[in-house]
Amino acid sequence: MSQKDEDWLALSDPDIGTDEMEQALLTLRSPQLSMGPSVAAFEQALAAWVGVGHGVAASSGTLGACLLLKAWGVGQGDEVITTGYAWHQVAHAITLVGATPVLVDIDYWSGCIDPAAAERAIGPRTRALIATNVNGHPADWSALRALADRHGIRLLEDSTEAIGSRFRGQRVGTFGDAAVFDFSQPSALCVGQGGMVLCRDAGLADELRYLRERRIDDRRSVSVGSRVPWQAGMGELQAAVGLAQLGRIDDILMRRKQVEAWYHAEMQSFEGIKPPYLADHVDEVHWMLYQVHLGKRFTASARQQLIEDLDANNVASAAFCQPLHQQFFYQQQGWKRGALPNTERIGDRSLVLPFHGHLDADHIRFIVKTLKDASVNVGAGAAIYL
């Protein structure tokens, strides 16, 4: 192992303890590795923890969203509104089911979808709206719920980035007609690969299960056989790890909060630092990654130089996302830079730093000092704000 490997501070590091290891070993010794009792238990446990009636596990958040859109009848000729600024795998489901994504701008402060921009984009072919709790900060669910009800469209809540966050007293995952979670890195609840759809409608949950995967007991069913399944189930091993991790999730989130506090304290060494933005309606935020926004004097190329300087000092960092409308596939559909000014302004200057429960105060002190030195090296001073 190289010195860099020994000292490398990764963006994320899954919180795997003895409980997860024991459950994984028990599962590996069992006669059932494909979808079975652990999957059903994980579905029930997460639905209860979030506060909804039903959970349907899937092999990823992307496929969970695909199943949901298909269950709602969304497909060719339909439009689904979303943003280009977030973890994109759920938004990709729109294209995968044959519908057309309509990208709208974000709220400058929260990074979440702007309800007013979303409403302006609604047209005769609009069937659904996907809104993300971006990097842990809940979207404006009161406005989005009212918008969806007013126009008679489905509301899908993407809570992949925000497990544990609360909006007006309720955990995220309870505000849409259904919600999607993904449990790949860097989620605080990480099983490697996997996702889940949560909903209150028992009929919808049954339909999702029919679309997800054919069960042995369903082989002769005429009604189930009328659907072509996606083969999108979660395995027992992932579910066993998820179930064990969910049992420790409050402790996991608490330790991540301590890392966040260390970051906040050290970030005060930057001139003109601003505290993280929390909207009035937000009760609690659990960040997916620690994100800083670079000041106006930084360019996208300057951010890249920061990333390279941090890398040279064994600190992982990255742009938070590459906005969808600036990606080649979507540009082939007519999207161009200049269409979403807030998305571009934040997208060009957002930077994420290592964030997980295995970091200590000395790690954070080193990361922030390295970032501060790098910002001076690129000639941009310390114009960084959260």
The 3-class SS string of 123-167 reads CCCEEEEEEECHHHCCCCHHHHHHHHHHHCCEEEEECCCCCCCEE
Considering the domain boundaries, does residue 287 fall inside one? yes
Domain with residue 122: its CATH number is 3.40.640.10
Residue 10 lies in a domain: no
Residues 149 and 187 in one domain: yes
- Residue 13 forms part of a structural domain: no
Beta carbons of 65 and 216 less than 8 angstroms apart: no
CA dist 11 and 316 (Å) reads 6
Same domain for 308 and 261: yes
Q: Is residue 6 part of a domain?
A: no
Residue at which a domain ends, from 181, 216, 247: 247
Helices 18-28 and 236-247 pack at an angle, to 10 degrees, of 150
Pair (176, 225) in one structural domain: yes
Is there a single domain that holds both residue 253 and residue 243?
Answer: no
- CATH value at residue 356: 3.90.1150.10
| Host domain of residue 284 | 249-385
Q: Sort strands 384-385 and 318-319 into parallel, antiparallel or unpaired.
A: unpaired
Question: Residues 73, 161: one domain?
Answer: yes
Residue 173 inside a domain? The answer is yes
Q: Which two tokens stand for residue 384?
A: 């960084």
| Structure confidence at residue 289 (pLDDT) | 94
Q: Which residue, among 32, 54, 28, 33, has the nearest Cα to 43 in the 3D structure? A: 54
CA angle 168, 169, 173 (to 5 degrees): 90
Position of tokens 């960092």? 317
Instruction: Please check whether residue 1 lies inside any domain of the structure.
Output: no
User: For every one of its 386 residues, what pLDDT tens digit does the chain have, with 9 covering 90 and above?
Assistant: 344 566 899 999 999 999 999 999 999 998 888 888 999 999 999 999 999 999 999 999 999 999 999 999 999 999 999 999 987 888 899 999 999 999 999 999 999 999 999 999 999 999 999 999 999 999 999 999 999 999 999 999 999 999 999 999 999 999 999 999 999 999 999 999 999 999 999 999 999 999 998 776 666 776 666 778 888 999 999 999 999 999 999 999 999 999 999 999 998 877 656 667 888 889 999 999 999 888 777 888 889 999 999 999 999 999 998 999 999 999 998 999 999 999 999 999 889 999 999 999 999 999 999 998 888 887 655 555 55
Same domain, 305 and 184: no
Q: How far apart are CA 95 and CA 257, in angstroms?
A: 36
Asked whether residue 49 is assigned to any structural domain, the reply reads: yes
Examine the fold and report which residue of 204, 226, 247 is the final residue of a domain before the chain moves on. Answer: 247
What sign does the CA torsion over 320, 323, 329, 331 have? negative
Boundary-marking domain end, from 224, 247, 270? 247
222 and 263 in a single domain? The answer is no
Whether residues 175 and 322 share a domain: the answer is no
Same domain? For 240 and 272 the reply is no
Q: Are residues 173 and 105 in the same domain?
A: yes
Question: 106 with 165, same domain?
Answer: yes
Count of beta carbons in the 10 Å neighbourhood of residue 20: 21
127, 365 contact by CB (below 8 A): no
Q: Residue type for 193, please?
A: Q
Asked if 71 contacts 199 with a C-beta cutoff of 8 angstroms, the reply is no
The total number of structural domains that make up the chain = 2
Q: Do 233 and 255 share a domain, yes or no?
A: no
9 in a structural domain: no
